[in-house]
C-alpha cells in the first residue's frame, strides 16, 4: 500500500540558501512514515495497545533536485519488504509538477515497549502495511555494511543535552546528521552547499548526558563521520556524505 502526503517546505528546513537540506528531506520522510504507521494501527498513538515501537537502523538518501522555501512537495512511502526482524521502507519526493526530487530507503526493527528487546515482526503487523514487493527505489540494491575508516583527521567531542532527546528518551535520529555536519572540517563545510548522497547506520542509542566523540575522515571520495562514546568503546553511528 502506498501512502502519501503533501508538505510545504519550511524556512527551518533550509540552510545556506532557500533550498531544502538533507535533514529537511529526511524530516519529511520521517513524518510521512509516522503518519502511515498511525493509519494502519501501529503508530505512536497505538503504543498503549500494541506495546510496539519502530526503531530506525539505516538511511540511504539520494537527492536529484531541491525544492525551495514555501514550495509544495508530495512525499510518498510504502513498505518494501519484511524479513522476520527487519522491515524495509522506501520513499519518493515529488514537486508539484510531478518531477522526482529525491528517493530514499530505510531499515527498521520492532521493539517491545516494556522489555526494550527486539521482537519478531508478526504477520498481523506485516499484513497491515500491504507490502509492495515489486517497487524498489534503488532497484533491489541492498544496504551494504558501512565500515569505519582506519584513521581520522579530526575529532569533535559533544555531551548530549535535553534538546537532543526525543519521546523515546534517546537522541533523535535526525540529530546524528547534525553532529556529522558539525564534525566536518570548515573548508569542507563551507565549500559544499549540500551533499546529494547520505548514508546513516545507527548502532547503539545515545542518551541524555552521554559524552561522545565524532571522528572525521575522507575516504573513497566520501566524507565519513564515526560517532563513538568518549572512551571509544561503544560505536553509535557511521555516516557517509558525498
* Tens-place pLDDT, residues 9-37: 999 999 888 999 999 999 999 999 999 99
Between CA 34 and CA 54 the distance in angstroms is 9
Between CA 80 and CA 58 the distance in angstroms is 14
Domain 3-128 has CATH 3.30.60.50: no
Between CA 148 and CA 217 the distance in angstroms is 9
Domain boundaries, the chain: 3-128, 154-241
* Tens-place pLDDT, residues 41-83: 999 999 999 999 999 999 999 999 999 999 999 999 999 999 8
Residue 185: per-residue pLDDT: 95
Record the cell numbers describing residue 125, joined without a space.
503487523
DSSP secondary structure code for residue 182 in this structure: H
pTM to 2 decimals? 0.95
Give mean pLDDT, residues 111-124.
93
* Tens-place pLDDT, residues 181-211: 999 999 999 887 789 999 999 999 999 999 9
Between 3.10.129.10, 3.40.50.150, 3.40.50.300, 2.60.40.10, what CATH number should domain 154-241 receive? 3.10.129.10
- Burial class, 12, CB count within 10 angstroms (exposed 0-12 / middle 13-18 / buried 19+): exposed
Amino acid at each position: 500500500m502506498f501512502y502519501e502526503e503533501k508538505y510545504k517546505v519550511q524556512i527551518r528546513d533550509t540552510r545556506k540558501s532557500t533550498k531544502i537540506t538533507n535533514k529537511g528531506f529526511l524530516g519529511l520522510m520521517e513524518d510521512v512514515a509516522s503518519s502511515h504507521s498511525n493509519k494502519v494501527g501501529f503508530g505512536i498513538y497505538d503504543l498503549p495497545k500494541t506495546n510496539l515501537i519502530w526503531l530506525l537502523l539505516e538511511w540511504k538518501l539520494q537527492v536529484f533536485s531541491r525544492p525551495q522555501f514555501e514550495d509544495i512537495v508530495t512525499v510518498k512511502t510504502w513498505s518494501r519488504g519484511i524479513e522476520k526482524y527487519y522491515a524495509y521502507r522506501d520513499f519518493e519526493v515529488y514537486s508539484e509538477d510531478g518531477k522526482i526530487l529525491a528517493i530514499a530507503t530505510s531499515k527498521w526493527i520492532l521493539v517491545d515497549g516494556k522489555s526494550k528487546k527486539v521482537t519478531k515482526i508478526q504477520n498481523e503487523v506485516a499484513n497491515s502495511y500491504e507490502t509492495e514487493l515489486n517497487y524498489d527505489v534503488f532497484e533491489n540494491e541492498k544496504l551494504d555494511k558501512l565500515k569505519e575508516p582506519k584513521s581520522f583527521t579530526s575529532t569533535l567531542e559533544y555531551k548530549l543535552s535535553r534538546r537532543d532527546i526525543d519521546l523515546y528518551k534517546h537522541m533523535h535520529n535526525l540529530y546524528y546528521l547534525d553532529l556529522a555536519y558539525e564534525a566536518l572540517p570548515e573548508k569542507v563545510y563551507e565549500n559544499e552547499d549540500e551533499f546529494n548522497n547520505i548514508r546513516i547506520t545507527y548502532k547503539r542509542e545515545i542518551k541524555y548526558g552521554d559524552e561522545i566523540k565524532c571522528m572525521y575522515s575522507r575516504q573513497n571520495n566520501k566524507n565519513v563521520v564515526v560517532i563513538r562514546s568518549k572512551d571509544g568503546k561503544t560505536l553509535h553511528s557511521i555516516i557517509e556524505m558525498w
